[in-house]
Amino acid sequence: MKRQISKADFSLVSTELEHYENDGLITAEQKNGILEIYEIKGGLNFIRVVVTIGAILVGLGILSFIASNWTGISHLGKLFIIFGVFGAVNLAGYLLSEHNPKTGRSFIYLGTLVYGAGIFLIGQMYNLGGDFPTAFLLWSLGVLPMAFQLKDKYLMLGANILFGVYLNGSFDQGFPYAAWVGVPLLYVAFNYFAKSRLLLFFANLTALSFILQITLHYEVKGLYVVLIFFVLGLLMYGVKHHLEFDIFQLQGNILLGITGVILTIPDLWGVLVGVQSTRLMSILFALAFVVLLFLLIRKGSLISLIFVCVTIFRYYTDTFAFLPKSLFFIVGGLLLLGFGYYFERMMKTPKGGTLV
């Protein structure tokens, strides 16, 4: 099985091999043999983007026309329109897929949009009621089989996003029990769809949303919720593994940065210490947090640098607002210049070398 790489990476490999061939390090046959190992991954295609947007606009136009004349159509007529449009666009997608795969796939995307609209329209017709998030769960469940059958990661991404809407919309609608099955399924999909990094990114977001729902369901205190996610951020950033570690590291860095800034708010610490000590606790945490960020910056984390600036700005607005703005901007600018100089030196230092 060929190794899939991006077009830019393939171009880089090809250029390097060409250089080796010109220097006599490898033969033309060896170069071609190595290039045969690789295959360019399919990325966003201009034609696919155009026809997909076109199909969505057509779908929105049809739905807008139906909605504007909805009250004057009988229930039977409404059902006929919904199922007729749904069947027609999917049939068109199937018929076009063989000779015009991109256009055919755009009609299938349109079919998923019509399917979701049908759920809401039928619910409105028969006053079925139910929770608003449940409609998104049903929509996601309808898209899921199509995504697996066609092995289309963008359909799977759509199903993931719809499931995420259900999950986050269940905030005041009861516990989202479907997530016990749905969240693990997202990671199964990651492996099924050639380990798509995009799917893994959104699967992690959905999993974190589910953890938040669990803490809310059991009425965990605000401080402990933020601490849980701060620790999760540390674990995602620091625990090394072979499951696209850089994705976990990126999300972990952002998560610990956001929760770290939140934990500098004194009022949060009231559940752990007395009112008189909350400000002291928040300052102690802030100092430890900034030290941690500096350690991460030393490892090359630009995201941590952003959160250092956010933390400084947070204390400026809360505590040091009486200082002249000019002084604040001068200090902030000097910090950024210093970090820029540090990163430039770090990038120039050869691997294995040390900064003097």
In angstroms, the CA 19 to CA 21 distance is 5
Q: What is the pLDDT of residues 157-193, one digit of tens each?
A: 999 999 999 998 877 777 888 999 999 999 999 888 8
* Residue 166 CA: distances (Å) to CA of 12, 130, 133, 179: 42, 13, 4, 9
Instruction: Count CB atoms within 10 A of the CB of residue 202.
Output: 18
pLDDT of residue 184: 94
**Two tokens, residue 43:** 């990325």
What one-character DSSP code corresponds to residue 133?
H
Instruction: Count CB atoms within 10 A of the CB of residue 269.
Output: 21
Using left for φ > 0, alpha for ψ between -120 and 50, and beta otherwise, residue 241 falls in beta
- Measured in whole angstroms, the distance separating CA 98 from the mean position of its chain's CA atoms is 32
Q: How many CA atoms lie within 13 A of 291 on its CB side?
A: 6
In angstroms, the CA 35 to CA 43 distance is 19
Q: Which residues are within 8 A (CB) of 218 and not within 5 positions of it... i.e. 6 or more apart? A: none
Q: What is the pLDDT of residues 26-44, one digit of tens each?
A: 888 888 888 888 777 655 5
Determine the residue type at 170.
Answer: S
* Residue 165 CA: distances (Å) to CA of 148, 301, 339: 20, 31, 39
pLDDT surpasses 70 at 291: yes
Q: What is the pLDDT of residues 336-347, one digit of tens each?
A: 677 666 666 666
**Two tokens, residue 161:** 């996003």
Can you tell me which residue has the tokens 């799917």?
199
Q: What is the pLDDT of residues 63-111, one digit of tens each?
A: 676 666 666 777 788 788 788 888 888 888 888 877 887 788 888 888 8
Nearest alpha-carbon partner for 63 in 108, 97, 112: 112
- Diameter of the chain measured on Cα atoms: 81
Q: Are 126 and 94 in contact (CB under 8 A)?
A: no
DSSP per-residue letters across 205-247: HHHHHHHHHHHHHTT--HHHHHHHHHHHHHHHHH---SS-HHH
pLDDT of residue 354: 39
Q: Is 3 helix (H, G, I), strand (E, B) or coil?
A: strand
Identify the helix (H) or strand (E) that includes residue 37.
none
Round the CA-based radius of gyration of the chain to a whole number and report it. Answer: 27
Q: Where are the domains of the chain?
A: 1-43, 220-356
pLDDT of residue 352: 44
